[in-house]
Structures are given as C-alpha cells and as structure tokens.
Amino acid sequence: MAETTYKTPLLDELEKGAWPSFVKEIKMAAKRSPMANDLLGQLEQSYQEKIGHWKHGGIVGVMGYGGGVIGRYSDLSEKYPGVSHFHTMRINQPAGWFYTSEALRSLCDVWERHGSGLTNMHGSTGDIVFLGTRTEELEPIFEELAKLDFDIGGSGSDLRTPSCCNGMARCEWACYDTMQACYQLTQDFQDELHRPAFPYKFKFKFSGCPNDCVASIARSDMSFIGTWRDDIQMDQSEVKKYVDGGLDIQKDVIDRCPGKCMEWNGKELSIENSFCVKCMHCINVMPKALRPGKDRGCTILIGSKAPIVEGAQLSSVLVPFMKLEPPYTEIKDLIERIWDVWCEEGKNRERVGEFIQRVGLGNFLEAIEVEPVPEMVAHPRENPYVFYEEYYEDDDGEEEEEA
C-alpha cells in the first residue's frame, strides 16, 4: 500500500519524557495501518492549527444494534483518506477489567484485521474502545467478536456499558459482589443496552465500598456503593501495632473521623458505631486492624451526571441499604419501575437526575413506589413552599384529594 510518511515535528515532541507516549503508539500502529498513519498526519495538522479535524458524527452501527459505534469522519478526508471513516467501536469489557493474555491477543487479532490497530484500554465509561475503522468493517468485526464472546457496549440513549471495581476479586473491603452484580445486570438488560429507547443515556456503576473506586457517585445515573450496617470489625492488637509503628492515631484517624465517634485511650480504640457514617477512613488507614462489619450490602444512589445541560450532579441516596444478591429480583424491579416512569415522562435528552429535579423527588418516589426516608436528604426543606395535596371544602368539611 502506497503510503505517505508524514513529518510530525510537533507530535515528535511528545515522544520524549517518562510517561508512555501515545505518539509512539500511533507510530507503531502506523507501521502496519494506513488508517493509523493518516491519523498521525491529521493529528499533526491539528497540532499545527490548534483545532480538531473531525466532522460531527453520523449514525453507523451493526445490524440489529442501535448503539455501540460512534461514527466519525475526517473533514480532511481527501488529504487523509485513511481517516475518511474513523469510527469507534465500544466493546463491553469483562467485569472488573480482568483478562488473560489469550483474550487480549485474540481481540488484537480482530482489530489488526479490521481496524486501525489503535485502542483505548479503556474508555472512560469502561468499554474496550476500538479506535478507528470503516463502516464496512463493522459487521465483520462484530461477527469475529461474537465468536470470542465479546459483545458490543452502549452508546446513544440507552443503557451504557456498566462497570465495576474489582471488588471481591482483589479487595478486602468489597461489601457485595460487584463483578457478579455488574455482570448479571448487564446480561439481564441487554436489550436496553443495545437498543436506544430511553430519553437519554443511563449508566450503572458498581463500587464495593464507599471509597468508590469506579467513581460511581459522580458518573452514573445509578450508583451501587457497598456499605455495612453493623459494627466495624476491630483487631485491637493490630491497632496497637499501627500506633507503635508511628501512626498518629489521634491526629490522622480520630480527628478526621466524620462521625466523631472514635476514641483512643492509649491502649484501645473504641468506636461508637451508631455514629459511624461508614466513610472508610479509619479502615483505609489501618487495613490490618479494621474491617467493614459483617452485615453488608449496598447503598443505591441515583442521578449523577456531567454538567450538560442543567449542571453536574452527584448521585443521591435512593435506597439507604439493600442486600445486592442473586437473583437480583428486587433491584431489577426497582430499575424497571424507574425506567418506566422516566421513559414515560422524561423529556428528550433529560437524564434521570434532571428528571427527578424537574418533577420533584417526592413525586418521583411516589411514581416508583418507594417510601420517602430521611436518609434521602441532606436535610429537610428550608423553604415553606409545600404542595400540600389535600384541603377541606367549606361546605362539607370533607378532605378533598388534589393534584
């Protein structure tokens, strides 16, 4: 294949330095792929001109799926024909991002045959991102992936590829089985994941404890964060060892405890667990000495998102505590009730968090049949603008239902 070799003086500057160089990666791929080569050329031009050269994406995909592919075309396709099409495929990663070398190699083989040879491991939603291919390659890629048992992830107004922390696989703090929950709900909601039918995107993320190592509270419409209800497990002798080892337990642990519920008498640590807000801090600092309690489950929160349009949100508590265990019936029912209400009444491009703010959390709870509890709010209302729903009529003195 006749190929231009681009001069890339600006990008070359980014081959220097200690951090892995994406320019080197592109150059490596460019050795074999004209697409990657033309990406290099176009990117150098972007660096020169300080502007991207991609057109607004078009809709492309694989048969029967409505999402999972981001269409992308160069606005300099004559100059860089290799990137005239440069679509992204989102491949649903295995829960926890665990791989065998064999699995990785077979993915690489598919991508060598049909794409630019460039990837993101991983995209920020969590997918394996195959970066750059042509429309006509999509179906063959899907076919080959299917043989490897790799399915496509989400994009558009659908359930997005769920992701989870490595949880019980490699973490002592997992309060529920994040990988199983993530896998199972992904499987159970395949239709919602592949066929955009929501008002907008919807994301699940699963973290095994309040450290929230997949940033679920900031980045998912529904955040599952492990927690516990009983007492922190303590090994006093290990506490002592930390202190003897130089830990300033007063300053670095006790004074930083948001529950203000710890005391150290020089020999023993005591915790007033009814005030512990399960923040993880003391456990984080003394992993050998303290562990989450034994009555474990998760807090379910709803609504986080990036700023567009109504401003960023963190998720807020929907279910203070729930055991998240197979067959996940209770949670699936809840999710479906939420989707029903949101699909029925949500506006186009309105994330569920924005929807809740528009209709009111109280009304939303009624619609999804969840009882309000004080754990859902940082504090009760401050303004006196209460929509009392009933009033008495003068004539008959009977309570009348409004609204």
Binding mask 67-106 for another protein (x = CB under 8 A): -----x-------------x-x---xxxxxxxxxxxxxx-
**Smallest separation, CB 203 to its own copies (Å):** 20
158 near 193, Cβ under 8 Å? yes
Closer residue to another protein, CB minimum distance, 12 or 136 = 12
Beta carbons of 96 and 169 less than 8 angstroms apart: yes
- How far apart CA 182 and CA 164 sit, in angstroms, is 6
Q: Report the DSSP beta bridge partners of residue 302.
A: 222, 316
Please calculate the CA angle 93-227-265 and round it to the nearest 5 degrees.
135
Residue matched to tokens 């993530």: 182
Closer to ligand SRM by CB, 148 or 213: give it: 213
Query: Are 206 and 174 within 8 A, CB to CB?
Result: no
Q: Residue from 280, 331, 334, 335 that binds another protein (CB under 8 A)?
A: 280
Applying CB under 8 A, the site for its own copies has a residue count of 7
The torsion region of residue 64 among left (phi > 0), alpha (psi -120 to 50) and beta comes to left
Q: Give Cα 10 distance to the centre of its chain.
A: 34
Check residue 344 for interaction with another protein (CB under 8 A).
Answer: no
166 binds ligand SF4 (CB under 6 A): yes
Contact status: 139 vs ligand SRM (CB under 6 A): no
Stretch that binds ligand SF4, among 55-63, 251-259, 334-342, 350-358 (CB under 6 A): 251-259
- Tell me: does residue 21 bind ligand SRM (CB under 6 A): no
Check binding of 59 to ligand SF4 (CB under 6 A).
no
Nearest to 46 by CA among 68, 21, 14: 14
Q: Is 205 in the site for ligand SF4 (CB under 6 A)?
A: no
Distance between CA atoms of residues 117 and 34, nearest Å: 10
- Smaller CB distance to its own copies: residue 287 or 311? 311
384: contact with its own copies by CB under 8 A: yes
How far is Cα 140 from Cα 161, in angstroms, rounded to an integer? Answer: 21
- Output 75 or 366, the one with its CB closest to ligand SRM: 75
Least separation in angstroms between CB 305 and its own copies: 12
Nearest residue to 135 via CA among 114, 155, 152, 153: 114
373 belongs to the binding site for ligand SF4 (CB under 6 A)? no
Q: How far is the CB of 318 from its own copies (least distance, A)?
A: 23
Question: With respect to its own copies, which residue has the nearer C-beta, 185 or 249?
Answer: 249
